[in-house]
Amino acid sequence: MINTLALLAQQNESTGMWYVFALLIFMAVVFGFITLIVILNYGQLWFQAWMSSADISLWSLVGMSLRQVNSRLVVKAKIMAKQSGLNIDRRSGISTQRLEAHYLAGGNVMNVIHAIIAAQRASIDLDFDRAAAIDLAGRDVVDAVRTSVLPKVIDCPDPRRSGKSTLSAIAQNGVELRVRAKVTVRTSLEQLIGGATEETVIARVGESIISAIGSSEHHTHVLENPDVITRAVIERGLDHHTAYKIVSIDIADIDVGENVGARLQNDQAEADTRVARAKAEQRRAEAIASEQENKAKVAMNRAKLVFAEAEVPKAMADAFRSGKMHSQGGETGNGHPG
């Protein structure tokens, strides 16, 4: 009996071990199958990253697909950063997690890497966080770095924006000057986020040029020394709170326009003449009215005189009737001569 129980226990133990062994084999087959699929899909990409020391694991590539991140783009950016000598440390460098986060935020990963590489070659301090912030702000970070290295020239005024080819300013003697300027600017990466754009720089420079010409006593002073304008403009610090640093302002062309002062004086003289004529006409009308008023008064006085003369005979008749007055040579009522 004891031997039988021992035999059954041994058979049960053998059966249980067989089930465990079968389960392990099944799990190994499933794991191998999954691994095979992962290797077939991501093996080449992982091997490329591994050969370039890009520090991207195979399971990171799988996670990118699950998070809907373009894994090929991230691997390419990571390899480019590594080969360019950038820091790709997982804590302080351009890590895979940072690249994924920038991609998911809607940024342009390759533009950021290109900008950082260009800045490093030009000895410009630009880290990944600042480059990513510039990119997410809607600015072209590659063009910003390029402009920092190679300044660009802005027309003032810009015909494409304002439709005008020159600035019109008037000196104190009334002569108009038409000016066209070239503004050379370099991108200021420190103020690129939140800094004013080209339109602000053009507006400030144009306003300063007009003010500088307006403060000149004679237009010939400006024609003789155009640098008077540029010095006055640069000293104002027009690039404050803008995304650019003004390198230089050059007067490309100056043309003499019309004599606005003389035209205004002529217009003023004509206006004064018209005012004088109006006042003279007013005085003439007032004189005519006064004359007519005096004639009316004379006629009224004559009427009063005629009326008074008509009252004289009536008064004499009343005197005769009352006995207060007799005919010539007569006597009064008491017998004495009148």
Domain boundary, last residue among 69, 94, 119 = 94
Spacing of C-alpha 93 from chain mean position: 37
Tell me, yes or no, whether 113 and 81 share the same domain. Answer: no
* Residues 25 and 77 placed together within one structural domain of the fold: yes
pLDDT of residue 102: 93
Residue 20, token pair as written in the block: 């465990």
Residue 209 in domain: yes
User: What pLDDT, in 10s, does the model give residues 262-311?
Assistant: 676 777 788 888 888 888 888 888 888 888 888 888 888 888 888 877 77
Q: Is residue 303, in this structure, part of any structural domain at all?
A: no
- Asked if residue 34 and residue 60 are part of one domain, the reply reads yes
> What is the reported pLDDT for 35?
67
User: Model confidence over 43-99: pLDDT tens digits?
Assistant: 778 888 888 888 888 888 888 888 888 988 999 999 999 988 888 888 888 998 999
Does 228 reside within a domain?
Answer: yes
Residues 113 and 203 both lie in one domain: no
| Domains contained in the chain, number | 3
- Amino acid at site 326: H
Tens-place pLDDT, residues 132-163:
999 998 888 998 898 888 888 989 888 888 78
Does 321 map to a domain?
Answer: no
Q: Looking at the predicted structure, is the pLDDT value of residue 8 above 60?
A: no
Same domain, 76 and 146: no
Contact 128, 112 (CB under 8 A): yes
Are residues 24 and 110 both part of a single domain?
A: no
Report pLDDT digits (tens) over 253-263. Answer: 888 878 776 67
Specify the pLDDT at position 333: 45
Residue 335's pLDDT band, with cuts at 50, 70 and 90, is very low
Q: Confirm whether 242 is domain-assigned.
A: yes
Structural domain contains residue 307: no
pLDDT value of position 337:
47
Containing structural domain, residue 125:
105-150
Q: 64 with 139, same domain?
A: no
Q: Could you tell me if residue 282 is inside a domain?
A: no
- 180 lies in the same domain as 254: yes
pLDDT digits (tens, 9 = 90+) for 192-218: 887 888 888 888 888 888 888 888 888
> CATH code at 179?
3.30.479.30
Comparing 259 with 167, the larger pLDDT belongs to: 167
Give the model confidence (pLDDT) of 107-134 as tens digits: 999 999 999 999 988 888 888 999 999 9
Q: Are residues 111 and 77 in the same domain?
A: no
Domain match, 184 and 246 both: yes
Q: Any idea what DSSP says for residue 253?
A: E
Same domain, 146 and 207: no
Of residues 36 and 83, which shows the higher confidence score?
A: 83
Residue 216 covered by a domain: yes
Residue 315 φ/ψ, nearest 5 degrees: -70, -40
Q: Do residue 36 and residue 127 come from a single domain?
A: no
List alpha helices for the chain, DSSP H.
2-51, 58-66, 71-83, 96-104, 109-121, 128-136, 141-149, 159-162, 198-214, 219-224, 227-234, 260-322
